[in-house]
Amino acid sequence: MKRHGILNSAIAKVLVDLGHTDYIVIGDAGLPVPSHVPKIDLALKAGTPTFQEVVRLVHDDMVVEQTIAAEEVKEQNPVQHQFIEQQFQGNVVYVTHEEFKELTKKAKVVIRTGEVTPYSNCILQSGVFF
């Protein structure tokens, strides 16, 4: 049995299989998921698990080269905006929400959280540790 890191087998497998520049999406409960992109649904009830919990855990287990978020988060959800900026130390690119949804079509997976606050979504672009 795995001792550290993410225990969810689907997420752990996705992380191990990532190549440089691959995308994974961590989204709120309402983010539309493109039909061809696999979804790992962690939502148990409204608010559980939170966007921040899932982002922290995935980030701890993943080399993130860049993060992409919707521009709208800055005004519509300042708490999540501040979290994203702190978590990724300002290495965040902002696009419109419509552009964000288009980029999700290139993702290896969308991880759905139970978050129910607007624009609580991000795309993590895989980096390399060497």
What are the pLDDT tens digits along the chain (130 aa)?
Answer: 788 889 999 999 999 999 999 999 999 999 999 999 999 999 999 999 999 999 999 999 999 999 999 999 999 999 999 999 999 998 999 999 999 999 999 999 999 999 999 999 999 999 999 9
Quote the pLDDT of residue 4: 85
Taking the CA atoms of residue 23, residue 49, residue 101 and residue 70 in that order, the dihedral angle to the nearest 10 degrees is -90
The residue with tokens 């087998």 is 9
Residue list for the binding site:
28, 97, 119-121
Query: Domain residue spans in the chain?
Result: 9-126
Quote the pLDDT of residue 1: 76
Quote the pLDDT of residue 20: 98
Could you give the residue numbers annotated as active site?
20
Residue list for the binding site for substrate:
28, 97, 119-121
From the candidate CATH numbers 3.40.1650.10, 2.40.110.10, 3.90.25.10, 3.30.465.10, the one assigned to the domain spanning 9-126 = 3.40.1650.10
Kindly list the distances between the CA atom of residue 11 and the CA atoms of 29, 91, 94, 124, in Å, as whole numbers in the listed order: 17, 23, 25, 13
**Cα 18 to Cα 16: distance, rounded to the nearest angstrom:** 6
